[in-house]
Structure 1
């Protein structure tokens, strides 16, 4: 594992923080807002915050593209929540409401929801449409991260 500090975007104020790799497991706080950088819960992002997290975070970002009217999306929400508790701090889990971020969904060509997409170093490396359980989300995400 690298000893270089990683850039981690705060889920609360969206400030980019430098965190030593070894310190990830020690529940680091944001240097600006002093809140935890990892909460064990998915982070809801709008388009601007999404772009910042994807571009600036040096941990993989797993995105759940969903909508409030989507039954399978609502069914998968607790599983995605459970997956966040298992995958953080080695991965950031975020949720993007495609009803509120229609331009982003269009730009990324999200054709069905729910859709999971994994971003590493600012690039999408894997995509999986359809609802999944927590164990399947964790297994899928770990199998595609680098």
Structure 2
């Protein structure tokens, strides 16, 4: 298989090898048959996040947010819309900083919303505050070099 990406299934967490050239062909999980891209961000807890970062090969755009945060609520529809623009080249993830305080601390999240691009297992870019959709998509692509 030429230039495969490792995609973690959003439904069962199975690792799937998909040729990069076939990412846009609505790939499905080899184990549970769920779509590997759903056109929306994934809400993850720490264990699933660590699996995605540790095993997946796509850049991950993370929105660190909290339910009580007004700017986070304002950013949520923009982030969801950006998933449709950025998938399948990115995996978009939402991390609730109240529920996953240790994960927020690990990434030194001091203000929310904070967006982090992770590629190759490490952080490559960070942006705090609300962004419009076009700016968010441009920033993420630039940060990941795509």
| In the alignment, structure 1 residue 35 sits paired with structure 2 residue 37 | no
TM-score (ref. length: structure 2):
0.96
Paired residue total: 145
Aligned to 1:145: 144
2:63 matched to which residue of 1?
64
Q: Could you tell me which residue of structure 1 aligns to residue 53 of structure 2?
A: 54
Q: Distance in 2 between matches of 1:83 and 1:29?
A: 21
1:3: Cα distance to partner? 2.7
Aligned ranges 1:69-84 → 2 under 5 Å: 69-84=68-83
Residue 22 of structure 1 deviates from its aligned partner by: 1.5
* Structure 2 unaligned regions, length at least 5: none
Residue in structure 2 matched with residue 8 of structure 1 by the alignment: 7
CA shift digits 1:13-42 (9 cap, x unpaired): 111111111210100001111110001100
- Mapped partners of 2:58, 2:19: distance in 1: 12
SS of the equivalent of 1:80 reads: helix
TM score, norm. by length of structure 1: 0.96
Instruction: Give SS of 2:83's match.
Output: helix
CA–CA distance in structure 2, aligned partners of residues 12 and 136 of structure 1? 30
- Alignment RMSD (CA, Å): 1.1
Corresponding position: 1:135 with 2:134: yes
Unpaired runs of 5+ residues, structure 1, are: none
1:68-107 map, 5 Å: 68-107=67-106
Give 1:72 shift. Answer: 0.2
Q: Distance in 2 between matches of 1:49 and 1:78?
A: 23
Runs of 4+ with >6 A deviation: none
